[in-house]
Amino acid sequence: MAKKPTLDLTKYVRFYEQMVYIREFEELIGKEWNNAAAHGMGGYMHLYSGEEAIAVGLIGGMDLAAGDCFIGHYRDHGYALAAGSDPGEVMAEICGKATGCSKGKGGSMHICDAARGFYGGYGIVGGNVPIALGLGWALKYRNQKNVCACFFGDGSMNQGAFHETLNMAQLYKVPVIFALENNGYAMGTSIERSHANQNLRSRVDSFAMRSVTINGQDIFEVHEQMAQIIQEMKEDPHPVFVEFKTYRYHGHGAADTPVTQSTYRTRDEVARAKDQLDPIKFAQEKLLELGVLTDELIADMQARAYASAEAAMKFSDDSPYPDPSELIKDVYA
Amino acid sequence: MARLRYADAITSALREEMLADDRVFIAGEEVGQYLGTLGVTSGFLKEFGPMRVVDTPISEVGILGLGIGSAMAGLRPVCEMMRMDFAMVAYDQVINHAAKIRYMFGGQFKVPMVIRGPSGVGRQLSAQHSQSLEVLFAHVPGLKVVMPATPADMKGLLKTAMRDDNPVIVMEALRLYFEKPDVLDAILPGLSEVPDDPDFTVPFGKANVLRAGTDVTLIGYSTMTIQCLKAANILAQEGISAEVVDLRTLLPLDMATPIASIKKTHRAVVVQEQWGLYGCAAEISAQIAERAFYDLDAPVQRVTGAFVPMPFARNLENISFPSEHDIVIAAKRTLGR
Ligand SMILES: Cc1ncc(C[n+]2csc(CCOP(=O)(O)OP(=O)(O)O)c2C)c(N)n1
Ligand SMILES: [Mg+2]
């Protein structure tokens, strides 16, 4: 690599802090799950711990204020936080409160933030992928110099909808980033047990779509590459498929207990990932080395993140449940 | 008699039929190595091996295609949808294909398959994971639609489904899956009991009078039958004798049993978990009007879910589908109270 552009280190310190924040937020939910009903939480609960660098690095490379946008699947808290959504409103949604971003009607899987271009988290595997095609189409239709990112998991690539969408996206050259969060598993099923061709990136070669593989645990690689790609997409609208290699720390959802997890992965594997693949540790070491982070700063950020997650929980706890009259509102525009 | 949970009844039916007929196999997401999302196929992979317990990718179209084609070719597949909402991804395979093949080819082929999975409201599963979409299937000739309410019916109807030569949609009540036998028996003595006889089955198209009464007929299926039983208990305390008719299967639909009951009680309440508009309760009410109008002393009442996508917040969820109290109010309305 001859002329690597110099890194904007203040930006990476900010990204680091965002990742720490998402981690603390998710871990707090994980901890409070024991007390779920008291907070109003329930149903499914999919945590993002381990995968933070993808949302932070990619969304951090978009200009949401200028019209860039994104859409995700149900593992969606991190997307909103990375986009700068109000953590209290995200937590309140997770707890089904009136002050939640979706008025308590969506819950953990259906976070959204229209003002920040977050078109929502969806619960049907692969269901959000075709919608990204339309979001990208609208950008192109209006000649906007914008991109749309679509987050989905490895499981989505086994849905027919995925393949229809990628073909059309390439055919119409829509500016959509198909962001695969390849964490190795779809619920309890590994890639090996569900994809005939386990080189997932090569599965899109048949659409002649531009594609790239990125280490999703390395915020520097995620962001530098995505920033470059996004710029090129804005100059010349086209779709890009990005395979982010990553790992999820928690069970698939709250119902995926240590017992059920033992049917598909070992505790050792998880421990090794936390030790060797952690995106926060990785960024921290590098930023310390570069001299822009200090141990005090780290401790400070950590404490702030924890306090802020607690404050979000408190905001939610202090918020009312939706008024019964809300039941029949918002069915139609 | 064994006292079983609804989920155990599913396991028992699947296992017995797999032992009895080696053409039967199960395909679905997480049915094997993961031991089943809700545990109903726990141990099956080990017992029956990977050709008979097939772990699939998240590919509902593929799962149902695997089922339809292999059924046409002489096997007897059971396709599990992790949730029935996900069958919508593959609705085409069910409606445009499975339901049509027998008729469209003049009876040359048959499609003996079961599509089964949990359905209906759970707890805070929100808009895309709480639906009870039976009406979308019960509208279509060529399909059969089964909605058991009790552990015995769950077992007996699933076994009948697995022996049937047509595509059968078995919609299992998620809310009832893990209800403890004690809880069921407190609603109606013996409700959790399932006959031990391995030849025990329940025929399609035969509704069941679960509780006899004289003043009003409560008609339900699946989770709503249990709500009707709870309502009948409350009504009894107020001196109102309600008869509870469990429809068991929507297609074929037995109207003779509810109409015989109405001829006795002269009043009817029809209960359905999800949206009332154009729903199963509307169909049943229409048939009552056509066939028993002069036996009625009051207009038929429908109790149905709110016409909204399922909200997440617990308080909204709780008021979005029929409670036993809603049924009580409707029953009293037929009695002018
Ligand atoms: C069409 C459909 N089938 C099944 C499910 C149940 N389900 C929810 S998430 C999931 C696993 C998805 O894994 P992946 O796409 O890799 O995303 P990850 O959870 O790993 O982030 C499954 C099977 C669903 N929601 N939708
Ligand atoms: Mg995955």
Over residues B11-28, the pLDDT tens digits come to: 999 999 999 999 999 999
Would you say residue A3 has pLDDT above 60? no
- The CA distance from A215 to A220, in Å, is 9
Average pLDDT, chain A: 97
pLDDT in tens, A271-299: 999 999 999 999 999 999 999 999 999 99
Question: Which one of the ligands is nearest to A54 CA?
Answer: 1
Of 3.30.465.10, 3.40.50.970, 3.40.50.300, 3.50.30.50, which CATH number belongs to A9-318?
A: 3.40.50.970
Beta-carbon separation of B311 and A104 below 8 A: yes
Atom of ligand 1 nearest to the CA of B89: 1
Kindly state whether A110 is in contact with chain B, defined as any CB-CB distance less than 8 angstroms: yes
- Which tokens in the block code for residue A93? 């949604």
Decide if A265 touches B, using CB distance below 8 A.
no
In this structure, what CATH number is given to the domain that contains residue B242? 3.40.50.920
ipTM for the complex shown: 0.95
Q: Identify whether B202 is part of a domain.
A: no
- In this prediction, residue A6 carries a pLDDT of 82
DSSP string of A59-108, one letter each residue: HTTS-GGGT-EEEEES--HHHHHHTT--HHHHHHHHTT-TTSTTTTSS-G
Flag whether B260 is in a domain. Answer: yes
Q: Where are the alpha helices (DSSP H) in chain A?
A: 9-32, 36-39, 52-59, 77-82, 87-94, 128-141, 160-172, 219-235, 258-261, 267-276, 279-289, 295-318
Domain that holds residue B217: 208-334
Residue A5 has pLDDT above 80, yes or no: no
Please tell me the predicted confidence (pLDDT) of residue A4: 59
Calculate Rg over the CA atoms of chain B.
Answer: 19
Can you state the angle between helices A9-32 and A295-318, rounded to 10 degrees? 50
Q: Which residues of B touch A155 (CB under 8 A)?
A: 57-58
Could you tell me the residue ranges of all domains in chain A?
A: 9-318
Task: For an interface test with B, give the residue of A162, A260, A266, A316 to mutate (most B CBs within 10 A).
Answer: A260
Contacts of A126 in chain B (CB under 8 A): 58, 89
Alpha carbon B204 to its chain's center: 12
Assess whether B132 and B281 both reside in one domain: no
Residue B279 shares a structural domain with residue B317: yes
Q: Are residues B188 and B213 in the same domain?
A: no
| Residue written as token pair 């239709």 | A141
Same domain, B280 and B328: yes
Does A225 have pLDDT greater than 60? yes
CATH number of residue B181's parent domain: 3.40.50.970
Q: How far apart are the CA of A25 and the centre of ligand 1, in A? A: 22
Q: Are residues B189 and B213 in the same domain?
A: no
Secondary structure of residue A264 in the 3-state scheme: coil
Q: Evaluate whether residue B242 is within a structural domain.
A: yes
User: How confident is the model over B177-222, as pLDDT tens digits?
Assistant: 999 999 999 999 999 999 999 899 999 999 999 999 999 999 999 9
Alpha carbons B194 and B212: distance in angstroms, whole number? 20
**How many C-beta atoms lie closer than 10 Å to residue A285's C-beta?**
12
Q: Do B311 and A161 touch (CB under 8 A)?
A: no
CA distance B34 to chain A (A): 6
Residue B92 has pLDDT above 90, yes or no: yes
- Show the tokens assigned to A329: 């509102």
Task: Give the residue numbers of B marked as catalytic.
Answer: 60, 129
The two structure tokens encoding residue B146: 């089964």
Between the CA of A253 and the centroid of ligand 2 the distance, in Å, is: 12
Check whether A2 has a pLDDT greater than 90. no
Q: Are residues B182 and B274 in the same domain?
A: no
Q: Summarize pLDDT for B269-306 with one digit per residue, the tens.
A: 999 999 999 999 999 999 999 999 999 999 999 999 99
Q: Which one, of A244, A251, A254, lies nearest residue A270 by Cα? A: A251
Q: How far apart are CA A49 and CA A309, in angstroms?
A: 14
Res B252 pLDDT > 80? yes
**Mind spelling out the 3-state secondary structure of chain B?**
CEECCHHHHHHHHHHHHHHHCCCEEEEECCCCCCCCCCCCCCCHHHHHCCCCEEECCCCHHHHHHHHHHHHHCCCEEEEECCCHHHHHHHHHHHHHHHCCHHHHCCCCCCCCCEEEEEECCCCCCCCCCCCCCHHHHHCCCCCEEECCCCHHHHHHHHHHHHHCCCCEEEEEEHHHCCCCHHHHHHHCCCCCEECCCCCCCCCCCCCEEEECCCCEEEEECCHHHHHHHHHHHHHHHCCCCEEEEECCEEECCCCHHHHHHHHHHCCEEEEEEEECCCCHHHHHHHHHHHHHHHHCCCCCEEEEECCCCCCCCHHHHHCCCCCHHHHHHHHHHHCCC
What is the chain B residue with the closest CA to A196? B57
Instruction: Note whether residue B200 is domain-resident.
Output: no
Decide if A43 and B306 are in contact by the 8 Å CB cutoff: no
> Any chain B CB within 8 A of the CB of A44?
yes
Pocket test for ligand 1, best of B29, B79, B80, B82 (most atoms within 8 A of CB): B82
Q: Is A189 helix (H, G, I), strand (E, B) or coil?
A: strand
Beta-bridge partners for B249:
B146
- Residue A233: closest CA among A316, A169, A182, A282: A169
Ligand 2 midpoint to CA A205 (Å): 20
Nearest ligand 1 atom, CA A44: 8
What is the nearest CA distance from B40 to chain A, expressed in angstroms? 14
The domain boundary, picked from B194, B229, B256, lies at: B194
End-to-end CA distance of chain A: 53
CB-nearest partner of A327 from B55, B60, B320: B320
Using an 8 Å CB-CB cutoff, list chain A residues near B123: 42-43
Taking an 8 Å cut-off on Cβ atoms, the answer to whether A193 and B55 are in contact is yes
* pLDDT over threshold 90, residue B77: yes
Both B189 and B243 in one domain: the answer is no
**Contacts B306 to A, Cβ<8 Å:** 327-328
The domain total for chain B is 2
Q: How far, CA to CA in Å, does B327 sit from each of A40, A72, B224, B228, B233?
A: 27, 40, 10, 7, 11
Q: Is B34 in the same domain as B81?
A: yes
Please tell me whether residues B278 and B304 are part of one structural domain: yes
Mean pLDDT, residues A3-7 taken together: 68
Give yes or no for A36 touching B (CB within 8 A): no
pLDDT tens digits along A43-93: 999 999 999 999 999 999 999 999 999 999 999 999 999 999 999 999 999
- With a cut of 60, say whether residue B36 has pLDDT above it: yes
Q: Looking at residues B59-88, what average pLDDT do you find?
A: 98
A29-56 mean pLDDT:
97
Q: How far apart are the first and last CA of chain B?
A: 40
Q: In this predicted structure, what is the pLDDT of residue B105? A: 98
In angstroms, the Cα distances linking A146 to A85, A136, A140, A208 are: 20, 9, 8, 22
Please check whether residue B61 lies inside any domain of the structure. yes
Least Cα separation, residue A186 to chain B (angstroms): 8
Closest residue on chain A to B29 (Cα): A189
Residue-wise burial string across A193-206, b where 16 or more C-beta atoms lie within 10 A, e elsewhere? bbbeeeebbebbee
pTM as predicted = 0.97
* Residue of chain B nearest A38, judged by CA positions: B314
pLDDT at position A1: 44
CB contacts of B29 in chain A (<8 Å) are: 187, 189
User: Cβ(A186) to ligand 1 under 6 A?
Assistant: yes
